Amino acid sequence: MKILFIGDIYNELGQKSFDKYFAQVKNQYKPNFIIVNGENIEKTNGLSEKIYKEYLSLGVNVFTLGNHAFSRKDFQEVLDLPYVVRPANYGKNTPGKEFVEIKYNDKKIAIINLIGRVFMHDQTDNPFTKVDELLEKIASDYIIVDFHAEATSEKYAMAYYLDGRVDAVIGTHTHVPTADNIVLPKGTLYISDVGMTGAKYGIIGGNVEQGIRKFITGMPERVKPETESILQFNAVLLDLYNRKIERINIFE
Ligand SMILES: [Fe+2]
Ligand SMILES: [Fe+2]
């Protein structure tokens, strides 16, 4: 079982990079199953039904989200789509699904999305105790966790906490790919961050000028996405049978 996991596709240039590289990567690595972090995929951040349908028709199987899960007006409808999962540790009455289970031939794959609490702004529940709760309910053949978090310490703690209990813990959110892909002692595949798909020149996908100005003035400012840049495409290939995790980093 080979799973391709594509890191945060960020806004317009993220879609452009996906359009440019997805088919090539898919042909080269021949994954059985494809997961995309789609929390920033639209211009407004968040995921839309239009993109969902389009990407599913191209072979994507499921979308994970993050802190931008609720950014669009139509978030409720999008969260109700069958192959969309939002971070499980938002509050009890939050719309959307805490995990999705998808059949692949005679196997079942569960995808869990969790959000971190270190340097993150939303008042979420404890992701460690939440994932314990979920793992009691899930009886899939394979379990993949997207841990959408800022701090590598929290990500490593989650990775070791879940080692041997899930097949992979994949970090998203920082938009910067790390080089620490590892097979943990009990067999779980891990990377701190897959990295983003979108502008190569930018401040984690945002406009450079605004991104710098914000730090100089200290004034709050909504940084617009970078719209003119060469591209990057970041993903990992999880080989669950051979217990391997390979980075795929395309930088123009
Ligand atoms: Fe993101
Ligand atoms: Fe995020």
* Percentage, residues of the chain above pLDDT 70: 100
Q: Which residue has tokens 């971070």? A: 87
pLDDT at 154: 98
Q: How far apart are CA 157 and CA 161, in angstroms?
A: 6
Cβ neighbour number for residue 6 with a 10 Å cutoff: 28
> What integer pLDDT is reported at residue 92 of this predicted model?
87
Within 10 angstroms of residue 79's Cβ, the number of other Cβ atoms is 19
Tell me the ligand closest to 38's alpha carbon.
1
Q: Which amino acid is at 161?
A: Y
Q: Which of 4, 22, 20, 13 is nearest to 41 (CA)?
A: 13
Q: Residue 75: which pLDDT band, with cuts at 50, 70 and 90?
A: very high
Query: What separation in Å is there between the alpha carbon of 162 and the centre of ligand 2?
Result: 21
The first and second tokens of residue 242, run together, are 């051979």
CB 105 within 8 A of CB 33: no
Nearest ligand atom owner, CA of 67: 2
Position 99 confidence tier, pLDDT thresholds 50, 70, 90: very high
| Ligand lying closest to the C-alpha of residue 175 | 1
Cα 216 to ligand 1 centre (Å): 23
The Å distance, Cα 149 to ligand 2 centre, comes to 7
Q: Domains of the chain, with CATH numbers? A: 2-251 (3.60.21.10)
- Report yes or no: 1 and 104 within 8 Å, Cβ to Cβ: yes
Tell me which residue of 13, 54, 82, 79 sits closest to 228, measured CA to CA.
13
Residue 44: what pLDDT?
A: 86
Ligand 1 centre distance from Cα of residue 69 (Å): 10
68 given a catalytic annotation: yes
Residue 188 scores a pLDDT above 90:
yes
Mean pLDDT throughout 74-102?
96
Digit-coded pLDDT (tens) for 24-34? 999 999 999 99
Residue 222 Cα to ligand 2 middle (Å): 15
- Output the average pLDDT for the chain: 97
Cα–Cα distances in angstroms (integers) from residue 230 to residues 30, 179, 225, 251, in the given order: 26, 22, 13, 8
Measured CA distances, 20 to 13, 44, 159, 242 (Å): 10, 21, 32, 29
pLDDT digits (tens, 9 = 90+) for 145-172: 999 999 999 999 999 999 999 999 999 9
Q: Which of 68, 148, 173, 175 is catalytic?
A: 68
